[in-house]
Structure 1
């Protein structure tokens, strides 16, 4: 798969299928690799890419700090994730794209629509991450990571990340830069030599900015309420994908369809068909 430099961030991506472009923001939190569309949780069974490839060109990619993409030790923000996405579609020579987010990918999809509505034809927000328990879980992970750094130091984070395949969601000690620590020796050396006090500020600023609300993070209600990009909202139903998060998007987005179907009825037969119907209308 090709890897392209996007604003100093090596980004691995793949295009699959034929037809209008569909930019897909992977599920998986801080482990949002492109493989997650076919291997991660319920997405493994839903088979979205295979279902869409005959009608759309699916653009899948590793979010920065995930999979084989690179990263930088800096305060991570939703705007940084949007920047990566915009640079990717520019690299591919795409003017306007449909978008789809799964899980936390919904936040970047929505943030992209707010930042550059002229580039987005429509967006599918599938099982958006959010809710009070989701916020608390994210903050808890960062606290555990900083506690490990305080006790053992940054070189120990590098050693731990390279000794395991667990991501930040599975083992908070490895932190949000675990993926590039494993794949980029120069990045790992620079990380290990970093100033712990500065690193603590970067991490603290990251979690405070990314997860600052008890609903879908990344976008302000007022910005959503003035957005005219058509959206399909599909609810989740657990502590990380609270139904209230999907309802928040339903309430805020002026142009939307809400697929009011329980998760148990969102199957490989029903979910791709519903999404293809929506995309075909826009």
Structure 2
């Protein structure tokens, strides 16, 4: 059992530190205005498995002041002196905010002393307006603690008003700011305000596995910053925690600490010879849910996004998307080598694929064009890996780069899916130079169909259609009272479930009213089906070209199937709307009104 005793002590140079536990050593470095004590939640959670050391940075806690014009090297040297005092040759280093900059400096300055690096809420290449605001705040510091300045800092970190769930965390941060030495804070903050580019040209030399983690709502240490740093570091990885802000270490300590320890555990299992490779976790996937998410893609319009090394969002429209593997979960997309965004995507550590809905035609056109600021036209959020996820998409797949494949005038980006989501919106398709709008969604039908609606399906398997043969020798398509669910035996889904038929419904294919009963509506979908293994003697698979030979009692269904066989041969489909006597076939393809999309991979590759 690990020694859970906690020691508060000072090194010979006056550096204050907390030490607890035993095991693999981990050094914790806090941010500006805090102290070693701010890591208490992490110390408590990690001390049973790790030898945890939390340092008071220069000018904080009980440590001496930094030089008046301090450099990051002053803080890194302080950490090295502490490691020497404690007899620790090599440690994993976890830094938050300013502490993460110190951690990077330490790893670059003394790579033999660092086994792994975790950078939390780290600044990198601030945008000009943000850089100016931070430097103005730094210039105003120097005197006694200013209650109004502290209040403004707490508001930036936690919100104004502070949500009740964050009140304790805010109080902890406020207490630290109230007690910090004013001069130490001012000198350190001035350094912090001017160090966001300190490692921009040096991250490529970072030899250790590195995790860059921030919160999706951190406006100062943004997901784009973490994604850009992870991309530059040879063994870098970005993780974005949804809903978290700058002080997530104390606002959500359990969530943050679990991510830290999981990363350190992974690093510990990687042989030294492969430490230069990125370390990724492999989340458990519900294979059926993953398959359903992939099934959201019709004929396919996507926007593929990433963050380039400058921290800018990049994206292009593509229909060259496909699933590759369920285990491991892999997908791919193609981009032309001549596309302006090819360099950004081909050197990226990850990308996101956003499958568009029918309502996102304008976005498709924008990202297929040469618009100067494409992301200004869409709402988006950073995913777990920092890649932009576009609001309103039918499905999104947040990926790490698994492999880049050279393929003629294109590059194939193969991504390992680290996170995905999908909803019931209607997908936007693209076929033969036009958008595809299949119309009535299954969810809308299930919620709003009249009670008498018959819902059926033409289910295909390798060029054959599934039928049920009756005792009289006639053939029927699967159909039921409403779309329903698997536990509703009279519904379409219920009848399929009863016979152990694994079907996937796709396009709406026909809608007609009953000529004899105007209140009765018939709705049929196209779909696919796996060959059943139930041994049901009524199930028949009939080749499409032989359907005309079958005895089918319902003349409307017989007419629909004749159209299906013809359209299947021509590979062009429409939706029939009318009654069983007369109506019209409405083509799925409608002229695209936005920028033209090429019939091959759609791409622009511009920001």
Q: Is the pair's TM-score, using the shorter chain for normalization, greater than 0.5?
A: yes
Partner of 1:271: 256
* Distance (whole Å) between structure 2 residues aligned to residue 168 and residue 114 of structure 1: 35
Residue 262 in 1 paired to residue 242 in 2? yes
Determine which structure has more spread, i.e. the larger CA radius of gyration.
Answer: 2
* Distance (whole Å) between structure 2 residues aligned to residue 137 and residue 238 of structure 1: 16
Residue 136 in 1 paired to residue 132 in 2? yes
Alignment of 1:3-152 (within 5 A): 3-6=10-13, 10-27=14-31, 29=32, 31-38=33-40, 47-130=41-124, 131-132=126-127, 134-145=130-141
2:223, 2:240 within 8 Å by CA — same for their partners in 1? no
Indicate how the Cα distance of structure 1 residues 36 and 270 shifts in structure 2: closer, same or farther if over 3 A, else same: closer
**In structure 1, which of residues 252, 255, 259 is the aligned counterpart of residue 232 of structure 2?**
252
1:127, 1:234 within 8 Å by CA — same for their partners in 2? yes
* Distance (whole Å) between structure 2 residues aligned to residue 143 and residue 167 of structure 1: 15
Higher relative contact order (CA 8 A, sep 6+): 1
Provide Cα deviations, 1:210-264, integer angstroms capped at 9, x if missing partner. Answer: 5346xx4432x33211222101111233232222221221121110222244244
DSSP 3-state at the match of 2:228: helix
2:135, 2:194 within 8 Å by CA — same for their partners in 1? no
2:98, 2:192 within 8 Å by CA — same for their partners in 1? no
Indicate how the Cα distance of structure 1 residues 268 and 141 shifts in structure 2: closer, same or farther if over 3 A, else same: closer
1:232, 1:259 within 8 Å by CA — same for their partners in 2? yes
Indicate how the Cα distance of structure 1 residues 206 and 34 shifts in structure 2: closer, same or farther if over 3 A, else same: closer
2:210, 2:230 within 8 Å by CA — same for their partners in 1? no
TM-score (norm 1): 0.69
Partner of 1:222: 201
Partner of 2:592: none
Indicate how the Cα distance of structure 1 residues 277 and 74 shifts in structure 2: closer, same or farther if over 3 A, else same: same
Which structure carries more helix by proportion? 1
Indicate how the Cα distance of structure 1 residues 104 and 261 shifts in structure 2: closer, same or farther if over 3 A, else same: same
1:102, 1:126 within 8 Å by CA — same for their partners in 2? yes
Indicate how the Cα distance of structure 1 residues 34 and 232 shifts in structure 2: closer, same or farther if over 3 A, else same: same
Indicate how the Cα distance of structure 1 residues 99 and 139 shifts in structure 2: closer, same or farther if over 3 A, else same: same
- Structure 1 residue 124, shift from structure 2 partner: 0.9
2:29, 2:100 within 8 Å by CA — same for their partners in 1? yes
DSSP 3-state at the match of 1:281: helix
Partner of 2:458: none
Partner of 2:210: 231
Provide Cα deviations, 1:70-122, integer angstroms capped at 9, x if missing partner. Answer: 11552111111101111110110110000101122111111111101110000
Unaligned runs of 5+ in 1: 39-46, 147-156, 184-201
Indicate how the Cα distance of structure 1 residues 22 and 143 shifts in structure 2: closer, same or farther if over 3 A, else same: same
2:121, 2:218 within 8 Å by CA — same for their partners in 1? no
1:210, 1:217 within 8 Å by CA — same for their partners in 2? no
Indicate how the Cα distance of structure 1 residues 64 and 167 shifts in structure 2: closer, same or farther if over 3 A, else same: farther
Indicate how the Cα distance of structure 1 residues 83 and 120 shifts in structure 2: closer, same or farther if over 3 A, else same: same
Number of equivalenced pairs: 228
DSSP 3-state at the match of 1:124: strand
* Distance (whole Å) between structure 2 residues aligned to residue 12 and residue 122 of structure 1: 23
1:235, 1:263 within 8 Å by CA — same for their partners in 2? no
Indicate how the Cα distance of structure 1 residues 206 and 129 shifts in structure 2: closer, same or farther if over 3 A, else same: closer
1:77, 1:206 within 8 Å by CA — same for their partners in 2? no
* Distance (whole Å) between structure 1 residues aligned to residue 233 and residue 152 of structure 2: 29
Partner of 2:521: none
Across the aligned residues of Structure 1 and Structure 2, the Cα RMSD in angstroms comes to 3.4
Unaligned runs of 5+ in 2: 1-7, 155-176, 268-607
Indicate how the Cα distance of structure 1 residues 223 and 90 shifts in structure 2: closer, same or farther if over 3 A, else same: same
DSSP 3-state at the match of 1:235: strand
* Distance (whole Å) between structure 2 residues aligned to residue 170 and residue 273 of structure 1: 27
* Distance (whole Å) between structure 2 residues aligned to residue 128 and residue 54 of structure 1: 27
* Distance (whole Å) between structure 1 residues aligned to residue 235 and residue 227 of structure 2: 14
Indicate how the Cα distance of structure 1 residues 243 and 72 shifts in structure 2: closer, same or farther if over 3 A, else same: closer
Partner of 2:222: 242
1:141, 1:169 within 8 Å by CA — same for their partners in 2? no
Deviates more, 1:227-236 or 1:268-277: 268-277
Indicate how the Cα distance of structure 1 residues 54 and 276 shifts in structure 2: closer, same or farther if over 3 A, else same: same
- Structure 1 residue 67, shift from structure 2 partner: 1.6
- Structure 1 residue 168, shift from structure 2 partner: 11
